[in-house]
């Protein structure tokens, strides 16, 4: 069945770079998009960006200058890198398959930006 | 950016009651609208896609509708397990945007 799992550091210092990995199974990255969505503690959902089945990417314009999404199809992994982190980037980061069309979310990983 | 407005931040209803949650888009988004349910400490779960299509495995008491730029999620007979926060999502244009959420509780 479809599974996604996020991994990465739980704590990042301000101004540093966040690197997250989403490892998927049960579907192909070359046939499905993967999106990143984040949720500050106790708040709503924010779309971060996506990598499409063909490998192209789209980013939330508010984050675009700091964000990079890539993938390794041989390992069924999608990567998120966000630089110049600030405290407002503290959130649970989810990866999800075909946002808005298909079921399939990771359990999320909490990233705390703090010194 | 397209704004998705869920006018009700919270809603309280009784078991078996009919519940309607609405979402207003700031511009035409066609049927590029999805509904999600999120329970505490869990990932969101897709309920409705393409404005009116029931996602796989979702009970038929959930339904979605559209009138212009207003979208509605209807629960025909509220059950205990339906409590949670409901979000709408527009996938019409970048950046994709969620509504602020409507928290549904049992009365």
Do residues B105 and B95 make contact, with C-beta atoms less than 8 angstroms apart?
no
* Mutate which: B94, B100, B101, B103, vs A, most A CBs within 10 A: B94
DSSP line for B51-107? TTEEPTT--TTEEEEEETTEEEEEESS--GGG-EEEEEEE-SSSSPEE---EEEEE-
* Residue A45 in tokens: 């959902």
Of the candidates B1, B43, B94, the beta carbon closest to that of A105 is on: B43
> If we measure between CA atoms, which residue out of B64, B70, B79 comes closest to residue B14?
B79
A106-115 burial, b if ≥16 CB within 10 A, otherwise e? bebbebebee
pLDDT digits (tens, 9 = 90+) for B24-79: 999 999 999 999 999 999 999 999 999 999 999 999 999 999 999 999 999 999 99
The pLDDT assigned to A31 comes to: 97
The pLDDT assigned to A114 comes to: 96
Q: How far is B14 from chain A (nearest CA, A)?
A: 25
Under 8 Å CB pairs connecting chains A and B tally to 59
| Phi-psi domain of B22 (left: phi exceeds 0; alpha: psi -120 through 50; beta: other) | beta
pLDDT digits (tens, 9 = 90+) for B6-31: 999 999 999 999 999 999 999 999 99
Q: Which residues of A touch B4 (CB under 8 A)?
A: none
The pLDDT assigned to A76 comes to: 98
The pLDDT assigned to A81 comes to: 98
Residue position matching structure tokens 């009651």: B17
Block means of pLDDT (10 residues each) for chain A, 115 residues, are 96 98 98 98 98 98 96 98 98 97 95 97
Of the candidates B44, B46, B91, the beta carbon closest to that of A45 is on: B44
The pLDDT assigned to B93 comes to: 95
Q: What does each C-alpha distance from A6 to A46, A67, A110 come to in angstroms?
A: 17, 17, 10
CB contact under 8 A, B49 and A101: yes
Q: Which residues of A touch B49 (CB under 8 A)?
A: 100-102
């Amino acid at each position: 069945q479809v599974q996604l799992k996020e991994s990465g550091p739980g704590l990042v210092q301000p101004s540093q770079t966040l690197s997250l990995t989403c490892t998927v199974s049960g579907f192909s990255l070359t046939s499905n998009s993967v999106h990143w969505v984040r949720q500050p503690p106790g708040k709503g959902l924010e779309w971060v960006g996506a990598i499409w089945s063909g490998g192209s990417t789209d980013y939330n314009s508010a984050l675009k200058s700091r964000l990079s999404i890539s993938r390794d199809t041989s390992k069924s992994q999608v990567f998120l890198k966000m630089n110049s982190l600030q405290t407002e980037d503290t959130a649970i980061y989810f990866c999800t398959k075909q946002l808005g069309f298909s079921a399939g979310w990771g359990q999320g990983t909490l990233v705390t930006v703090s010194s | 950016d397209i704004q998705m407005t869920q006018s009700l931040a919270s809603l309280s209803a009784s078991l078996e009651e009919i519940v309607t949650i609405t979402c207003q888009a700031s511009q035409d988004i066609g049927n590029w609208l999805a509904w999600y349910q999120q329970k505490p400490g869990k990932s969101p779960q897709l309920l409705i896609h393409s404005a009116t299509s029931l996602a796989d495995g979702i009970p038929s008491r959930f339904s979605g509708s559209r009138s212009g730029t207003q979208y509605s999620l209807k629960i025909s007979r509220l059950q205990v397990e339906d409590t949670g926060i409901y979000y709408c999502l527009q996938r019409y244009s970048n950046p994709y945007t969620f509504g602020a959420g409507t928290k549904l509780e049992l009365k």
